[in-house]
Amino acid sequence: MTGYILGRLLGLFFSVLAISLILFLAVRWLPGTPWIEGEIPLTGSARDNMIRKYGLDEPVWKQYAKYLWNLAHLDLGNSYIYKTDSVWKTIARGWPATAKIGTITLLVSIPLGIIIGVAASLKQNSIFDYAMTLTATAGITVPNFAVAVWLVLFVAIYLDLTPTQGWGTWQHMILPVIAYSLAPLGLVARFTRVSMLEAMRSDYVRTARAKGLNEPTIVVRHIFKNALIPIITLFGPLLPNLMTGSIFIEQTFAIPGLGRHFVTSIFDRDYPVILGMFMLVAVLFGLTYVISDILYTWADPRVRLTRGP
């Protein structure tokens, strides 16, 4: 087990290294820096000074080595735009709002999704089942910013129940959380339903029925327990996605979160911030995948730990 975890972490390490190299080279070789095309373009010696200050005149391999060295010390460098801010500080500024929305969305969508999925599976092929499958598909497919606009038009403006956008009070969080929850909610519900149906058809459930157990015991102890195990695999992609924030939701509701910082840093060509956020997301994605795989084997001992996709 320890060997497996170490192996996975090593794999993750090399993945992150490869990602950092690709993105670093992309940033360095693609044209444009904030001082050439910014709002106030710098020219001549002023520009040269800036380039020298940030070490951009050195050979690329040297810059990359330096970046890695700093990365190893958890130093992501300084923002080009907000010169007194480290990248960490920029990230820290957007993190609370994103994490808040993400956590609430998670707390709403996963339990609710499981409940709906279980209910639909227990009444398979009923009207409720079809309606749920349809709604779940719609929730996954329709872009969340489209749903967000409908919510703003109907709830915030027509019914005048919530603010249209902004950040601060709990009322501000209602619409973003609804718009944001639909996709994971649909995903969890559909996944739970299929997983439940599979468990219902299994031999051990037939055995349980044959030996005369009562229905609630079968549903809870035999079906439910086994059906929920695969849901752990959903956390892998779901968790980092939610925690890094839906850029669209933050844009629609003017929430000062990570996603908006990412977009502004792209507009500003603020490379250290862009790179730093990418690294953060890559590590977060990788870690949750490893953790969800380990959790899965812990929950379902039949699954063996092997490497490779």
Which residues sit at the interface with another protein, rule CB under 8 A? 11-12, 15-16, 18-19, 22-23, 26, 30-32, 124-125, 134, 137-138, 141-143, 145-146, 149-150, 152-153, 157, 164, 194, 197, 244, 247-248, 251-252, 262-263, 266-267, 269, 274, 277-278, 281-282, 285-286, 308-309
Q: How far is the CB of 232 from another protein (least distance, A)?
A: 18
Half-sphere exposure of 303 (CA within 13 A, CB side): 14
Q: Which is nearer to another protein, 301 or 308 (CB)?
A: 308
Least gap, CB of 44 to another protein (angstroms)? 24
User: Can you tell me whether residue 255 is helix, strand or coil?
Assistant: coil
Which CB atom, from 213 or from 263, has the smaller least distance to another protein?
A: 263
Least distance (Å) between residue 301 CB and another protein: 26
Closer to another protein by CB, 80 or 278: give it.
Answer: 278
CB neighbours (10 Å) of residue 29? 8
What long-range pairs does 127-130 form, CB within 8 A, spacing at least 24? 129/193
The dihedrals phi and psi of 31, each to the nearest 5 degrees, come to -70, 150
Candidates 81, 42, 3, 67; CA nearest to 278 is 67
CB 261 within 8 A of CB 85: no
Q: Is the CB of 67 or the CB of 278 nearer to another protein?
A: 278
Question: Whole-angstrom Cα distance, residue 91 to residue 74?
Answer: 13
Alpha-carbon distances of 250 from 111, 140, 163, 185, 192, rounded to whole Å: 24, 18, 14, 19, 28
Considering the complex, state which of residue 208 and residue 274 has its C-beta at the smaller distance from another protein: 274
What minimum distance in Å lies between the beta carbon of 45 and another protein?
Answer: 26
Q: What are phi and psi of 86, to 5 degrees?
A: -75, 165
Q: Between 60 and 157, name the residue whose CB sits nearer to another protein.
A: 157
Tokens of 284: 């977060």
Whole-number minimum distance, CB 48 to another protein, in Å? 23
